[in-house]
Amino acid sequence: MEDCKLRWERESGRKVFDCPVFSVNECVCRSPDGRRRTYTVMDLADWAIVVPVIESGGEREFVLVRQWRHGSQEMSLEFPGGVFESGEDAPAAAARELLEETAYRAGNMRKLGEFRPNPAIMSNTVHIFLAEDLHFTGAQALDEDEYIEVVRVKPRELIEGMGRPPYVHALMGSALALYLKDHPRL
Amino acid sequence: MEDCKLRWERESGRKVFDCPVFSVNECVCRSPDGRRRTYTVMDLADWAIVVPVIESGGEREFVLVRQWRHGSQEMSLEFPGGVFESGEDAPAAAARELLEETAYRAGNMRKLGEFRPNPAIMSNTVHIFLAEDLHFTGAQALDEDEYIEVVRVKPRELIEGMGRPPYVHALMGSALALYLKDHPRL
């Protein structure tokens, strides 16, 4: 089917809520066959997620972070990552989050891909990186309100655990799917 | 590290925005060492995503839907899915979304797992199902504002395409990660 049979046009937008994490906009949109409808969409900064892989005794391990999550009200064990700071590009944000949350610096970092965390209602992008050749720098540099434990987990345990606690973060599954493209036999 | 060193307590919440898709709450929370801070979190209904697999000429194919996404302002090719309707449980929501968006009914449907779409700022859960033994019922039953094309894609093409257009939906990657747990050699 041609795109023009599926594509909407956004005619106008109006901000209806704002907070430090996101803003909410009501947008009037026109359907492929000319009908108008209002949609609620959120603007947010981009995010970075890092898949840090470390060699340990001939085996690979993921470096994960365990922390409390305020939205879902539970503990989560996940890849390090976070929100871009003002003016940062994706590689800088990924390297900073990895260093701050885990105290590891990567000798080798490359982008695996990117996704829209929720293209139906959110405008932003999550950029996913692989980090290898990791060097421990000594100490985390956590934000004042971050309480994070660093945990090393074998790939098989992570893959088998996906989709149930403590591996509850959906974007961690998205990142793992990209990692598995290049490493199907883990 | 013990959970009590990482876990926060939510002391109070106050609704600051509401719309049909979500509400926004400011929540005062107490850190593991007794400091107070306010977090913005969203309440939303749960979502279902279905991984529909069809046999065709001895080969497996995924049944995907192509549609415009208002948050990211682009076309997206993704697994069918959507928001729970009032009173619905996860299997019912998954079966309904599959039928409405693709016109397929599944003879065999089982849950692969669940994730928090964004545990930092959202309270809800996405439930992911595998649908097999698919029977075509004749016609989609789309909502008034849904314009959806059904597309069949080979697993290898989907896996290789993940993380770049048109495979932009992060939760599709999450669902694929669960599917690959059981099908590592695709």
Closest residue in B to A31 (Cα) is: B145
Which pLDDT tens digit goes with each residue over B35-71?
A: 999 999 999 999 999 999 998 788 999 999 999 999 9
Which of B23, B72, B162, B182 should be substituted to probe chain A, the one whose Cβ sees the most A Cβ atoms within 10 Å?
B72
Residues of A with Cβ-Cβ distance to B116 under 8 angstroms: 69, 71-72, 74, 76, 168-170
Backbone angles phi, psi at B134, to 5 degrees: -85, 140
Which pLDDT tens digit goes with each residue over B111-150?
A: 999 999 999 999 999 999 999 999 999 988 888 888 999 9
Residues of A with Cβ-Cβ distance to B117 under 8 angstroms: 117-118, 170
B115:A170 CB<8 A: yes
H-helix or E-strand containing A158?
Answer: helix A155-161
Which pLDDT tens digit goes with each residue over A116-148?
A: 999 999 999 999 999 999 999 998 888 888 899
pTM of the model: 0.96
CATH superfamily of B47-182: Nucleoside Triphosphate Pyrophosphohydrolase (3.90.79.10)
DSSP A138: S
Domain regions of chain B by residue span: 3-43, 47-182
Q: What is the 3-state secondary structure (H, E, C) of A25-78?
A: EEEEEECCCCCEEEEEEEECCCEEEEEEEEEECCEEEEEEEEEEECCCCEEEEE
User: Could you tell me if A160 lies within 8 Å of chain B, comparing CB atoms?
Assistant: yes
Q: Does the structure show a pLDDT above 70 at A185? A: no
What pLDDT does residue B162 have? 96
Largest CA distance in chain A: 62
Backbone angles phi, psi at A99, to 5 degrees: -65, -45
What pLDDT does residue B29 have? 97
Q: How confident is the model at residue B182 (pLDDT cuts 50, 70, 90)?
A: confident
Mean pLDDT score of chain A: 95
Which of A10, A33, A147, A152 should be substituted to probe chain B, the one whose Cβ sees the most B Cβ atoms within 10 Å?
A147
Residue A24 identity = V
Question: Residue A60 and residue A22: Cα distance in Å, rounded?
Answer: 37
What pLDDT does residue A164 have? 95
Q: How confident is the model at residue A88 (pLDDT cuts 50, 70, 90)?
A: very high
What pLDDT does residue B183 have? 83
**Helical ranges in B86-183 per DSSP H:** 90-102, 155-161, 170-182
Question: Residue B118 and residue B120: Cα distance in Å, rounded?
Answer: 5
What pLDDT does residue A141 have? 87
What pLDDT does residue B186 have? 56
Closest Cα in chain B, distance from residue A57 (Å): 24
Q: Give the closest of A21, A32, A39 to B121, CB-based.
A: A21
Residues, chain B: 186
